[in-house]
Amino acid sequence: MKLSIYRYDPDKDARPYMQDYEVKLEPSDRMLLDALVKAKAQDDTLAFRRSCREGVCGSDAFNINGKNQLACITKLADLPEHVSVRPLPGLPVIRDLIVDMTQFFKQYHSIKPYVINNDPPPERERLQSPEEREELNGLYECILCACCSTACPSFWWNPDKFVGPAGLLQAYRFLADSRDQAASERLDNLEDPYRLFRCHTIMNCVDVCPKGLNPTKAINNIKEMLVKRAV
Amino acid sequence: MVKRLVVGAHYGLRDWLAQRITALIMALYSIVIGVVLITGVPVSYAVWKDFFAQGWVRIATLIFAASLAWHAWVGARDILMDYIKHDGLRLALEVVTVLLLATYLGWAIEILWR
């Protein structure tokens, strides 16, 4: 198969360019990551992140034929013969397919991604009913690969101010948690024309999420909570 | 000078909600006017004039025009917030937008009660 891969080394290259690789696939090669590893074996200057190779760590998110996906769970069988791989859009490129995720994680940290509970901890654990636990399904599975936030134009234009779909999904994950006591502070923190209301519901995030999650729905749930609090 | 980033304006919910409510009002008005136009054929100048001479039509149209202005304000400001990075330029464009929409609204009132 033919791979066109985005190459850029800021120390050497004046500008990014696409480099073609001809990769011979073995029957055991199932996912795009296998092909990328083969390309790297041909040319060890090629740089990309990868770790768990099974869609859990979120390291190998790239823009694959125009859509943000995880290379390790993108089946070669579903791809055409010629595949172009670019870094996630909207984030600064460190080298080749490696992007600087600082801005993304700054936004993630800004929503305080941990349970806030000021009661003395019980002897064993803070229990939830099965119904309360059910609320977290579709929220806790996020692996922070940044496919969604870097597919979102609002995040491209205002990455410093807009929390982005990944951060807002996580914000709702803690708003929905029965053990958390800081819902009001969390809503105060989000009630902002930039932090939350840059979302214009175009749903690119839902389209690309490799885990099949729905950040738009989570964002609407946050808005609904704000409405309930206000009216 | 170090540029410090500040967020936390604590508004936005009312505008977001208003945009949705004004959309509903406009949809309702459009349906009513559509039905009137379809059932009232042929529409001549006299029919049109009599129709808009009625008090409820004028009030409904005024509410529609106000909804449109408010809806457009939220939408236009969203676009400016998305794309215009320079704070001074954004404020200036927002003021222009408000003045323009206020003019349109005043103009609509003038036409309705002419």
pLDDT digits (tens, 9 = 90+) for A144-195: 999 999 999 999 999 999 999 999 999 999 999 999 999 999 999 999 999 9
Top-confidence residue, B5 or A135: A135
Instruction: Give B30-65 pLDDT, tens digit per residue.
Output: 999 888 888 877 778 888 888 899 999 999 999 999
Confidence of residue B1 (pLDDT cuts 50, 70, 90): low
Question: What does the domain layout of chain B look like in residue ranges?
Answer: 13-112
- DSSP, collapsed to helix, strand or coil, labels residue A16 as coil
Residue B7 has its nearest CB partner, among A192, A223, A230, at A192
Q: Which residues of B are less than 8 Å from A193 in CB distance?
A: 9, 11-12, 15, 81
For residue B41, the distance in angstroms to the closest alpha carbon of chain A comes to 40
What is the average pLDDT across A13-27?
Answer: 96
- pLDDT for A168 equals 98
Using a pLDDT cut of 70, give the percent of chain B over it: 98
Which segment of A16-20, A200-204, B29-33, B41-45 scores lowest on mean pLDDT?
A: B41-45
- pLDDT for B47 equals 82
Q: Which amino acid, residue A49?
A: R
Interface check for B7 against chain A (CB to CB < 8 A): the answer is: yes
- pLDDT for A180 equals 97
- pLDDT for B48 equals 83
A30 has pLDDT over 70: yes
Residues of A numbered 171-210 whose beta carbons fall under 8 angstroms of chain B's beta carbons: which are they? 188-189, 191-198, 200
User: Residue A200's closest chain B neighbor by CA?
Assistant: B78
Instruction: Give A67-119 pLDDT, tens digit per residue.
Output: 999 999 999 999 999 999 999 999 999 999 999 999 999 999 999 999 999 99
Alpha carbons A210 and A78: distance in angstroms, whole number: 14
Q: What is the pTM of this model?
A: 0.92
Q: Which of A194, A202, A221, A231 is most worth mutating to test chain B (most B CB atoms within 10 A of its CB)? A: A194
Helices (H), chain A: 32-42, 102-110, 130-134, 153-157, 164-175, 183-190, 204-208, 215-230
At residue B42's C-alpha, the angle toward residues B39 and B45, to 5°, is 115
- pLDDT for B39 equals 84
At residue A95's C-alpha, the angle toward residues A94 and A98, to 5°, is 75
Classify burial at A139, counting beta carbons within 10 Å of its beta carbon; exposed 0-12, middle 13-18, buried 19 or more: buried
User: Residue B7's closest chain A neighbor by CA?
Assistant: A161
- pLDDT for B65 equals 97
B13-112 has which fold? 3 helical TM bundles of succinate and fumarate reductases (1.20.1300)
Alpha carbons A163 and A196: distance in angstroms, whole number: 7
What is the average pLDDT across A121-137?
Answer: 95
Interface check for B9 against chain A (CB to CB < 8 A): the answer is: yes
- Of B85, B90, B78, whose CA–CA distance to B15 is shortest? B78
Confidence of residue B6 (pLDDT cuts 50, 70, 90): confident
Residue A200 has its nearest CB partner, among B7, B15, B78, at B78
For residue B79, the distance in angstroms to the closest alpha carbon of chain A comes to 10
Confidence of residue A48 (pLDDT cuts 50, 70, 90): very high
A39 has pLDDT over 80: yes
